[in-house]
Amino acid sequence: MTGKTFRTLSGIPVEAVYGDGPLPGEFPYTRGVHPDMYRSRLWTMRMFAGFGTAEDTNTRFRELLRSGGTGLSTAFDMPTLMGRDSDHEWALGEVGRAGVAVDTVEDMADLFDGIDLGAVSTSMTINGPAPILLAMYVVVAEESGVERSRLAGTLQNDILKEYQAQKEYLFPPRPSVRLVTDAIRFTTAEMPRWNPVSVSGYHIREAGSTAAQELAFTLANGFAYVEAACAAGLSVDSFAPRLSFFFNSHVDFFEEVGKFRAARRIWAQWMRDRYGATDERSLKLRFHTQTAGVSLTAQQPEVNIARVALQALAGVMGGTQSLHTDSHDEALALPTAEAARIALRSQQVIAHETGVASVADPLGGSHYVEWMTDELERRAEEVFAHLDELGGGSLLEGVYAAIESGWFVGEIADASYRYEREVNAGDRIVVGVNAFTEGSDSRQAELLRIGQETEDLQCQRLDAVRRSRDDRAVAASLSRVASDAAEPTTNLLPALLEAVSVRATLGEVVEVLEGVFGTYVERTVV
């Protein structure tokens, strides 16, 4: 957008950036990954939503595309996230509830029916069974004539944070990380427009961690994937440019801004100095931000609009590449359409009214913000040193050791309990909860009541697929999955592609993998 002059509300012209170097776009990218940040391109206002059956979601996708969107964001239901078919006993009451149910390639086909997969970018929030869902997506695309190399999108595929925070794991850590690296190897070789991992601190923070823990654990996980992929034979610059990050934006404004700035600096330095990356794109940490769901209160929910707006502002001041703003009623129920619109409007106010997008890293040079950035970096480095020692010089081994000993979970539980006690003792004020409570009890929860029909329908569809497929081909493909899984250096993706293409179900594939890999039970740290 060269040529356009940016002016304040009162007409004062402003430069793209202020201060001395290193400037935004310059190593170590503390101030941002682009020289003029949002002047050339605003952040992506990516709104994520979960709903009902594959057809429902498909309708919503098409509406979105008609109104000019190009990115599709897919939320899966709990049974899918846990690698179970809709008729599994665990699935009872959860089918289609928090997202869409995908049991077979047929569901994936319905989900993207009539959509040109070569022309959109698809984000899939899935971890434990991520490579299986990726395989389904590829099969759907190729059956509709779109070759895999043209597919663009992002797989969350960040299994380490599941052991630390979100607890949606299927297998023990080591074979799970092997699945992550298999997806990295596969996409690096065959799907150059695909981001194979979105390293996510969001869930670590939601589980109750501090900002410093979110920063440190997330980047440690990122380094662990880099080590795992390099150990699997990839060169760092072949895949690192396609790693992305996903952070939380919580309510302590300057701490959050410092966290985002520190994240970029640490990543750039470590990738260059420790992992030998030379491609500039490998050094630039790009991230998506979501406001802190855990900070939303059920009391006086309208107040959440202010919280969300301030958290969104911190994300923008921290230089995020995309942003999701929570709806203010989410502490009570699934968001209403109106609440979701207000959340999006808050981003638009920040983007188009406040002027903060005119200047890159507008807080850079503030004594407090620079100190906070340094301080969070220092605290993160302490964690890296601890993990490095645990792992005998390997962050990957250190992360494994700290997962197995329950260290991450214990650190997060301590932080979470400390916070609760502070709120409880009144040492920390939460508006509407322990102070300014007039009007706090007026509102009551309205829950979305989901009928049994979705579940019954989905189970019928699954049954129909099971009855119409070639069972011998399914059995043969599953035994190949088992034998490839038992061979640690074999990439599982080809076997997974074959299995899902002959209509093996998600649950069947996961069960076969459990037979080889085992399951995982965390060491209880409460």
Partner 1 sequence: MVGNRTVTQLVAAARGGERRATARLLTLVEQGGQLADEVAGATHQLVDNAHVVGVTGPPGAGKSTLTAALTTLLADRGRRPAVLAVDPSSPLTGGAILGDRVRMVEATAAGVFIRSMATRGHAGGLALAVPGMVRVLDAAGFDPVVVETVGVGQVEVDVAAAADTVLVVVTPGMGDAVQANKAGLLEVADLFAVNKSDQPNAADARRDLELMLDLSDLTGHRRAGLPERPTIVSTVATTGGGVEELAGAVDDHLEALRSSESLAVRRQDRRSVEVRSRLDHLLLEASAAAVALASVDGSADGEAPGATAKRLADHLLGGPDHTR
Partner 2 sequence: MSGDSPIRVVLAKLGLDGHDRGLKVVARILRDAGMEVIYLGLRQTTETIVDAVEQEDADVVGISMLNAGHLTLGPRIVDALADAGLDVPVVIGGIVPDEDRQALADAGVAGVLGPGAPAEEVVAGIRDAVATHGW
Instruction: Kindly identify the residues of this chain, within the stretch 497-526, that bind partner 1 according to CB under 8 A.
Output: 518, 520-524, 526
Instruction: Kindly identify the residues of this chain, within the stretch 163-182, that bind partner 1 according to CB under 8 A.
Output: 172
Q: How far apart are CA 131 and CA 155, in angstroms?
A: 9
- 519 scored as a contact of partner 2 (CB under 8 A): no
Secondary structure letter of residue 295 according to DSSP: G
Q: How far apart are CA 44 and CA 126, in angstroms?
A: 21
Nearer CB in complex with partner 1: 198/394? 394
The listed partner (partner 1, partner 2, none) that binds 166, CB under 5 to 8 Å by sort, is partner 2
Helices (H), 72-168: 78-81, 105-111, 130-143, 160-161
Long-range residue pairs from 446-452, CB within 8 A, at least 24 positions apart, any chain: 446/332, 446/333, 447/332, 447/333, 448/333, 448/334, 450/96, 450/97
Stretch that binds partner 2, among 201-209, 240-248, 265-273, 354-362 (CB under 8 A): 201-209
- 453 scored as a contact of partner 2 (CB under 8 A): no
- 35 scored as a contact of partner 1 (CB under 8 A): no
Closest separation in Å from C-beta 252 to partner 1 = 30
Read out DSSP for 334-379? SPPHHHHHHHHHHHHHHHHTS-GGGSSSTTTT-HHHHHHHHHHHHH
The listed partner (partner 2, partner 1, none) that binds 189, CB under 5 to 8 Å by sort, is none
Task: Identify the residue among 406, 416, 428, 443 touching partner 1 (CB under 8 A).
Answer: 406
- 489 scored as a contact of partner 1 (CB under 8 A): no
Read out DSSP for 208-269? T--HHHHHHHHHHHHHHHHHHHHHTT--HHHHGGGEEEEEEE-S-HHHHHHHHHHHHHHHHH
The number of residues that bind partner 2 (CB under 8 A) is 43
Task: Identify the residue among 354, 405, 424, 460 touching partner 1 (CB under 8 A).
Answer: 405
The listed partner (partner 1, partner 2, none) that binds 331, CB under 5 to 8 Å by sort, is partner 2
Secondary structure letter of residue 519 according to DSSP: -
The listed partner (partner 2, partner 1, none) that binds 79, CB under 5 to 8 Å by sort, is partner 2
| DSSP β-ladder status, 13-14 and 6-7 | antiparallel
- 239 scored as a contact of partner 1 (CB under 8 A): no
Closest separation in Å from C-beta 292 to partner 2 = 13
Site string for partner 2, 394-433 (x = CB under 8 A): -------------------x--xx--xx--x--------x
Task: Identify the residue among 16, 37, 72, 81 touching partner 2 (CB under 8 A).
Answer: 81
Nearest to 480 by CA among 501, 500, 467, 495: 495
The listed partner (partner 1, partner 2, none) that binds 82, CB under 5 to 8 Å by sort, is partner 2
Instruction: Kindly identify the residues of this chain, within the stretch 295-354, that bind partner 2 according to CB under 8 A.
Output: 297-298, 331-333
Token pair of 138, please? Answer: 């590829």
Token pair of 511, please? Answer: 């069960």
- 447 scored as a contact of partner 1 (CB under 8 A): no
Query: Taking the CB of residue 432, how many other CB atoms lie within 10 A of it?
Result: 19
The number of residues that bind partner 1 (CB under 8 A) is 12
Closest separation in Å from C-beta 49 to partner 1 = 33
Q: How far apart are CA 362 and CA 336, in angstroms?
A: 34
| DSSP β-ladder status, 287-291 and 243-249 | parallel
Token pair of 115, please? Answer: 């959509």
Site string for partner 2, 247-286 (x = CB under 8 A): ----------------------------------------
Secondary structure letter of residue 42 according to DSSP: P
CB hemisphere CA count around 217 (13 angstroms): 34
The listed partner (partner 2, partner 1, none) that binds 405, CB under 5 to 8 Å by sort, is partner 1
Binding residues (CB under 8 A) for partner 1: these are 172, 401, 404-406, 518, 520-524, 526
Binding residues (CB under 8 A) for partner 2: these are 78-79, 81-82, 84, 89-91, 93-94, 97-98, 162, 166-168, 206-208, 294, 297-298, 331-333, 413, 416-417, 420-421, 424, 433-434, 444-450, 522, 524, 526
